[in-house]
Every structure is written in C-alpha cells, then in structure tokens.
C-alpha cells in the first residue's frame, strides 16, 4: 500500500513537472497532440478543446459548491499524498447529490476525452505518453484522482 501511494505521488510529481507549459502568444492556434504525440485533426482538436472547456466549467461548479470542510479535504488531497485514499473517500462520501452528479459528469467526459486522444481504439498509450499530451485540465478533481485507486 505504501509503495502504491509512493508511486502515485511520484507519478503526480513527474506529470506536473513534465507537463507542457503554455506556449508564448504567437497568434496561431495551439496544436493538440494525441497520446502518442501526433497532431490530431482540426475537427478532433476543436472537439477536444470544447471538452476541455466543459471539464473546466464542471470542475469550477463542483469546487464552488464545496462547503469549507470539503474545501479543506480537497486541499488535504492535493497536499498530502499519504492521506490520499482516506481523504478521497471522506470527500466523496460528503458530496450531496448535485456534487455527485457533477463529479460523475466530469469523470465520464474526462474518460471520453482521454479515449479521443488514443491513437487507435483500444490501443494502450505508450509509456510516458501522458506527458506528451497537451490536453490537460488545470486541476485534478475527485473523479480524475479516483482513477488511481
């Protein structure tokens, strides 16, 4: 269990450090890459950017609906990797129906977006490919963090 938590923390740290930085304003639209690091079509890029906007909106709605206790638990999840499992379970069990629905919508849309970035249906992403992907939500809500359980 400790090894899994340590690996999870390491994965978060590496992904945060290796995440691409915002490009300088060049006037050209940002290129969206799939999990293999290849550019996606303009149509798919537009669809993914729409999903990114929806994810951000759902994330903001969910976080804005948190009570102070839920905000404290959310901060504990982000800051304290050793308490990740317990804090996530506590946070999720404290959700009201609206928050559970928003979290579920976020999880479904996030999964759909990740699948859209895969080079082929059912294909596994190559090791480290998530670092190359430029389609990343700014914050990691509960639905996204729960994938590591």
Going by C-beta distance under 8 Å and a sequence separation of 6 or more, which residues neighbour residue 91? Answer: 70, 73, 74, 77, 142
- CA dist 35 and 124 (Å) reads 9
pLDDT confidence of 111, banded at 50, 70, 90? confident
pLDDT of residue 37: 77
% of the chain beyond a pLDDT of 70: 56
Instruction: Number of helices (H) and strands (E) in the chain: give both, helices first.
Output: 7, 0
- Contact assessment for residue 108 and residue 115, using Cβ atoms and an 8 Å cutoff: no
**pLDDT at 54 (0 to 100):** 92
pTM value is: 0.42
Span 28-80, pLDDT tens digits: 567 888 777 788 888 988 888 899 899 999 989 988 999 999 988 888 777 77
The residue extents of the domains of the chain are 47-66+93-121+128-149
Q: What is the mean pLDDT of the chain?
A: 71
Contact call for residues 122 and 83 (beta carbons, < 8 A): no
Q: What pLDDT score was predicted for residue 67? A: 92
pLDDT of residue 30: 73
């Amino acid at each position: 269990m400790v090894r899994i938590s340590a690996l999870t923390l390491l994965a978060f740290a590496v992904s945060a450090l290796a995440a691409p930085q915002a490009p300088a304003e060049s006037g050209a639209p940002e290129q969206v890459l799939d999990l293999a690091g290849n550019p996606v079509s303009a149509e798919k890029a537009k669809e993914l950017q729409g999903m990114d906007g929806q994810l951000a909106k759902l994330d903001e709605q969910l976080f804005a609906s948190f009570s102070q206790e839920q905000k404290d638990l959310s901060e504990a999840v982000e800051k304290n990797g050793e308490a990740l499992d317990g804090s996530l379970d506590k946070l999720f069990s404290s959700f009201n129906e609206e928050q559970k629905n928003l979290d579920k919508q976020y999880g479904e849309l996030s999964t759909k977006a990740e699948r859209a970035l895969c080079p082929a249906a059912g294909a596994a992403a190559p090791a480290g490919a998530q670092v190359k992907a430029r389609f990343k939500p700014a914050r990691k809500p509960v639905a996204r963090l729960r994938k590591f359980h």
